[in-house]
Structures are given as structure tokens and as C-alpha cells.
Chain A
Amino acid sequence: MEDSQLAQYIPVLILGLVAIGFAAMTLGVSVLFGKLGKRSRIKDTAYECGMLPVGEGNTRLSVKFYLVAMLFILFDIEVVFLYPWAVVYKDMLTQNANAIFGSMLTFLGILFVGYIYALKKRAFDWKN
């Protein structure tokens, strides 16, 4: 039973529930036992080193961050594609060495061209 694919995930599920339970419980306990303080208008302001807050809380941010997010999706998916190849590589080498080696060389090549393109477009340049 333990060897079946789905049953293997039972401990993961239990661990998840225990972890969530622990987090919720500690928060609950601190609400119960925590000191009750007074509220005041000043106490409720956002913390800006003692100055009164200026403008909105969520300021505009550099477009660079969106670029990083997009590049992450591209490259992370490529990394995930590399894993199955890494797993079968050794076995495949004994049977069909050139095919597995050549196909991955092509994939890494395409990945690298994409990387060079992003580099030349200065997507990784944070200096200005």
C-alpha cells in the first residue's frame, strides 16, 4: 500500500495540515494572551521612521521587476525541461549516446541563444 503512488503523498498531506494548524494555533494563542493596547490615530499610521506618511502606501515601481518576472517564467520552464533529460541521460548513453547528447545540445543551444538575446537587449542591466 505504501508503495502505491498516491499513498506516498499521505504524509505530505498530514504535514501540511499540521503545519497550517501550528501556524493558526500560535496566532490564536497570541491573540488570547497578548496584551490589549489602546488604539490611537497616530499608532494606526504607517511606519515611516516617525515622520507622517507621505502619499500612498503602494508606490509605483520600476518596470524592471515585471521584466524579471517574465524572464523567470521563461527560464524556469526551461530548467524544468532539463530535469527529465538529466534523469534518463545515463541510461540512454549506453543505448543511443549520440541521439540523447545531440538533442540536448540543441536544446541548450536554443536556450543559450535566448539568453544572449535577453542579455543584448539589456534586460539584466540594473545600473540605469
Chain B
Amino acid sequence: MFHWLTNILHEISNWFYGLSHITQFSILSFIKIAVLIVVVLTMVAYAVLVERKVSAFIQDRVGPNRAAIPWIAAIPVLGPFLVRLGIFQPLADGVKFLLKEDFTPNHVRKVYFWLAPMIAMVPALLTFAVIPFGSNLNGERMVLADLNVGILYTFGIVSLGVYGIVLAGYASNSKYPFLGGIRSSAQMISYEIAMGMSVIPVFLLVGNLNLSQVIGYQSGSLLDWLVFKQPLSFLIFIIAAFAETNRLPFDLPESETELVAGYHTEYSSMKFALFFLGEYANMIAASAMMVTLFLGGWTLPFGGLDHQATSIWMGLAHIGIFIGKIIFLMLIFIWVRWMLPRFRYDQLMDLGWRRFIPLSLVNILITAVVLWARAK
């Protein structure tokens, strides 16, 4: 019955294996990228929903519970339940972003004003290139580019994120966005140093910058996870990640009470949405980095899940484990946001420059001395 389907599949595989090696590699990469981007964007959309629901829960409210697709909402029991969960809210938000007036005020610097949202969005997605999000599926490795300079690539790309924000502030040619942009760039570059220093003990232990090797080091037992070997590193890294993604308690670039909305005050419609997407994609990327560096990546220390997958189901389980760990960290991001008050700017700079940098230097020194003493 389905012989025409198998015929087509057969034709496709024939055509595929007839191609040159490099073309095959490119096509496979393209498929992986397409799936990755769709998954990340879906996660972003639902992270926003979860954020609203969790904040509602913390503040004893209901949260989004109205948006509905008529046919699905008409299903008995299930329909109203999904509507109450707000499942369709991200869809409604997305459509609204597309249909709103795309307004470019007259006083802005037009080219940069259009360029800034794109520059804020693109690096957030580029970070995912080196992160191993699974072991393998049918022999195909679940990482886009297994670069031997892994972590350096990530830090390089993360630094680019500053440009989008500072450019938005400059292009808006208006006071609040300008202040927001300047504050944000100073904050991000300050915490980047603390972030870069905090992970050096990790690489002292692993001895390789490749992120797959970092995961390999952590597989085996729970105590091999670097969060237990380097708790101080993890603490500094996660706090620096809050600052890098402009989240509360460090959301000074867009502190509503003083700067309206910070660097995206003058933005509307899809251009604003791109900043929003970029911010949440950055959060997911930061969570993915932490999972990879400190929480064992796609491995679990029991059930034989700590080595390369031998079947497709195991490969899928690995991807599921990785996404589960990311969701756990995202919930921490959201929880912290609704629990802590905002820092003052001098406190923020104080924490970054005068607490974290000496602390991570000492951490590097202690790790190095311990390794040296052991080698003796």
C-alpha cells in the first residue's frame, strides 16, 4: 500500500548517497540547523508563557487564560483546560507582533535602528553551534560544529551580543534608550570577565576546550559533575549569566521604574519582538552552556545513559535529558527574577569588579595548587 512511499524514500537515499561527501555533510547540517532553530524558537515562545504563569503563581494571580483557537477550545474537557493553561497565548502574541504598526520615528538613525534588532538576535542563535545537545542519532553526531576551541567560540559570540544593545541605544537618539544602552554595555563587559575567569578551573581539570570532551569528563558518576567539583565556579558563572542576559536582579538596562524600557523604548512591533526573542534565546543558550559545563550535558549517571547512544531511542532520550536540564535552569532564571529586588548600579559594578574577579582568581589559584600538589 505504501510502496510508492518506500519508493520515494529509496530514491531520496540513492540520490543522497550519490552526492559528494561535502554536500552530504552540508545537507545534514542544514537539516540539524532547521530542527534546532525551530526547537529553540518554540522553547523561547513557551518560556515567555511559563514566565508569565510562574510570575502569576508567585504573585497569587491567574496569568494568561483567555487566548483560544475556536475549534480546539470546543473539544470538551481538554479544550477549556488548554485554554486555561494559556497554551495558545504565544501564538496570539506572535500574530499580534506581526500585525502591529511597524513604526520608525523620525528622529532615529534609520540604518542602525533597523540593524540593531537583527544584531541582538543573531548571536543568540549562533551560540548553539558548538553545544552538544545529544550523543548521536543513527550515527549522526548531535552537535553542529564540534570545534576544538569550543568555549572560546562561545565567548566570542556572546561578546557580539553587546553590539545589538548599544547600537539600539545609540540609534534611538533619545535619552532613555541611550542611558539603557550605555549601562547595558558596561554591565555586560564587566561580567564577561568574571564569567571568562570563572570557567578556567573547569578547563584546568578537563584539559580540553572542546565541549564534547567536557561532557565526556563528567560522565560516569554524579560526583564527576563539575558543579560538585567546582561549586564556586558554577555560582559565579550563573550569577554572571543573570547579568549577561540582563535579567533581574541585574536588569538595570531596562529598569522600568527609571528608564521606561531601556534600550528598546523606541521600538515597536516585530523589531521589539526580535529583542525579546534574542533575550530569551540568550537565556536558553546560557542555560545550555551551564548544562554542558557543569551539569553533565546530555548524560545521566545511571541507567546506562552516560555513554554514546547505541540506538535511536537512546539518542532521543539523551536529547530529552539535555532539554530537561535546560528547562530546570530556565525555571531557576524565572524564579530568581520574581523573587529578588533590583541591584543599584554601584552595587552591580562593585559585585562584578571587586568581588567576583578576585574570587575567581583565587579559585583558579587553588585549583592549580591542588593539581600541582597531587602531581608531586
> Which residues on A are within 8 Å of B, measured CB to CB?
1-2, 7-12, 14-16, 18-20, 22-24, 26-27, 29-31, 33-37, 39, 43-49, 53, 57-59, 61, 64-65, 68-69, 71-72, 75-76, 79-80, 82-83, 86-91, 93-94, 97, 101, 104, 108, 111-112, 115, 119, 124, 126-127
Is there a chain A Cβ closer than 8 Å to B312's Cβ?
no
Task: Knowing A14-B26, A86-B200, say if A20 contacts B182 (CB, 8 Å).
Answer: no
Shortest distance between the CB of A30 and any CB in chain B (Å): 3
List, in ascending order, chain A residues with CB within 8 A of B106's CB: 39, 44
B102 at the interface (CB under 8 A from A): yes
Contact A10 B25 (CB under 8 A): yes
Q: Are B207 and A91 in contact (CB under 8 A)?
A: yes
Residues A34 and B152 in contact, CB atoms below 8 Å apart: no
Number of residues from B at the complex interface, CB < 8 A? 86
Contact (Cβ within 8 A) A26 B273: yes
* Besides the known contacts A15-B126, A29-B98, A93-B375, 11 further A-B residue pairs in the complex with CB atoms under 8 A apart: A8-B145, A15-B129, A23-B122, A26-B273, A34-B98, A47-B174, A47-B260, A48-B174, A86-B204, A87-B209, A93-B371
In the complex, what's the smallest C-beta–C-beta distance from A62 to chain B, in angstroms?
Answer: 9
Q: Are A124 and B349 in contact (CB under 8 A)?
A: yes
State the Cβ distance, B11 to closest chain A Cβ, in Å: 25
A14 touches B125 (CB 8 A): no
State the B residues within 8 Å of A (CB): 21-22, 25-26, 29-30, 32-34, 37, 97-103, 105-107, 114, 117-118, 121-122, 125-126, 128-129, 144-147, 151-153, 170, 172-176, 178-179, 182, 185-186, 189-190, 192-193, 196-197, 200-201, 203-205, 207-209, 260, 265-266, 269-271, 273-274, 345-346, 349-350, 353-354, 357-358, 361, 364-365, 368-369, 371-372, 375-376
A-B contacts counted at CB < 8 A amount to 222
Identity of the chain A residue whose Cβ is nearest the Cβ of B143 in the assembled complex: A11
B190: chain A residues at CB < 8 Å are: 68, 72
Which residue in A65, A76, A89 is a CB contact (below 8 Å) of B193? A76
* Residue from A12, A57, A126 within 8 A of B349 (CB atoms): A126
- CB-defined contacts of B118 to chain A, threshold 8 Å: 20, 23-24, 27
Contacting residue for A30 out of B97, B107, B196, B207, CB 8 A: B97
Partner of B121, one of A19, A44, A64, A88: A19
A128 to B125, CA, bound (A): 39
Question: How many angstroms from the CA of A84 to the CA of B92 in the assembled complex?
Answer: 49
Closest B residue, CB atoms, query A8: B145
Question: Please, could you name 9 A-B residue pairs with CB atoms under 8 Å apart, sorted by A?
Answer: A23-B117, A29-B270, A31-B102, A47-B260, A57-B172, A58-B170, A64-B186, A93-B371, A101-B368
Across the interface, do A104 and B37 meet the contact criterion of CB distance under 8 Å?
Answer: no
A19 to B33, CA, bound (A): 10
Q: A29-B98, A93-B375 are in contact. Are A59 and B128 (CB under 8 A)?
A: no
